[in-house]
Amino acid sequence: MKYYSLNKQSPDVDFKEASIRGQASDKGLYFPRSIPALPPSFFDAIGEYSKEAIALRVISPYVGDAIPAKELERIVGETINFEFPLVRVSDNIFSLELFHGPTLAFKDVGARFMSRCLGYFFKEKKNKAVVLVATSGDTGGAVADGFYGVEGIEVIILYPSGKVSSVQEKQLTTLGKNIHALEIDGSFDDCQRMVKQAFMDEELNKALFLTSANSINVARWLPQQFYYFFAWKQWQKENRTLSGALPPLVVSTPSGNFGNLCAGLLAYRSGLPVDHFIAACNANDVVTQYFGNGKYQPQPAKPTLSNAMDVGDPSNFVRMLELFDSEYGALKDLVSSYSISDNETREIISEVYSKFNYLPDPHGAVAYAALIRYLKEHAGAQGEGKIKTKDAPHGIFLETAHPIKFYDVVEPATGRPVDMPAAIRDIMHKEKVSLRMGSAFEELKEYLLRR
């Protein structure tokens, strides 16, 4: 498999080079030269495959011969060695729980896959690689855990001061060793801008070998397809009728930098038979506005309760456009988008918990609320998940983080304490270690050159 830059001003590379470089020399995102097609027979028999077999079948064409088959099998097995349960919330609404990994967030998959790929690629190199990553919340903890102790790699995480939850902050600031946290006086967009400037700076790139662990990196982005295949396997098994027919399926993804939804659309282009997708956004509604008027206008990020989605200029939006040849009509036919306010997010957390005894985190609540809006607008379903006809659409919303990571939002909404997993109890007493820094790129550059 070859990868080309979306800026189309640099040569094609293989998976190894795309993963190591992060971005192309012309500063464009890498994109696969072709999209593998999975036959209908694969989906008909998907219930017979293990999740490891599914993931390996999906990712192998993208990796090509950059990693030997046995090594890739090991990497995939270690990446997904936890559960991805599809939980029925109501008659026709399901939650795909993506928080059963080590840092209780969906980003564990991409971070674990990428760290193991880079570990393989760098195991014989003499010079260390510096992984530079910006986080609006869960990416930081997942990358820190995924790369912790990996030889030959130093990780530097930039996060916006006061704009991540206390649990998220502990996860990315308490590991030490090869993990370093920079607490930036600014927004996530400031963090992301500083990282992008670092990759564009000639002096830095001569002195250091820089790569990225954000979803701009294909090794972080591509394995996120796994979620959607795992969801399909579980959903079709439970809902296929005696005639073999299935109701229409709508998937709602909480969206910030849009790597997750873009991976779902890539899976769709490979043959995944989902009928419709929803880009569920909070007040940062740049993409929602695009679907309304066809114009993409980046905005400064606004802080919200669903902080991992506080992105005003999502990097992966260009990949979404590329998947559909920048055809607005084709993309709009498949994807709807809704913006959910903080007040509605609180109300949804309370409502879903009281009616269905299911506790979403703020990001899952945004996805649920957007899904309900879509179902209300389309014949066959009502807002409370009640089926009106046999052909009523079913909906899956992605629950991307454990509610404990946002207990300060969830507990006031429900009036009940959130059970704290042991993994979180173990880190909450640890001392935070971070370096406070302004949002000027020159400060980051000086820090990196001093290392």
pLDDT at 391: 65
Torsional sign, CA 53, 58, 59, 60: positive
Q: Which two three-digit tokens encode residue 148?
A: 């912790």
Q: Are 278 and 337 in contact (CB under 8 A)?
A: yes
The number of beta carbons lying within 10 Å of the beta carbon of residue 29 is 23
C-alpha torsion sign, points 64, 69, 71, 72 = positive
**Please, what are the averages of pLDDT over each run of 10 residues along the chain (451 residues)?**
96 95 90 96 94 98 97 97 97 96 92 92 78 85 89 92 89 93 93 90 91 86 97 90 79 94 98 97 96 93 91 93 94 96 98 97 98 86 43 91 93 94 86 95 95 78
The per-residue pLDDT for 425 is 84
- Helix axes 108-122 and 69-79, enclosed angle (nearest 10): 150
Domains and CATH numbers, the chain: 84-105+221-424 (3.40.50.1100)
d(CA 83, CA 297): 38
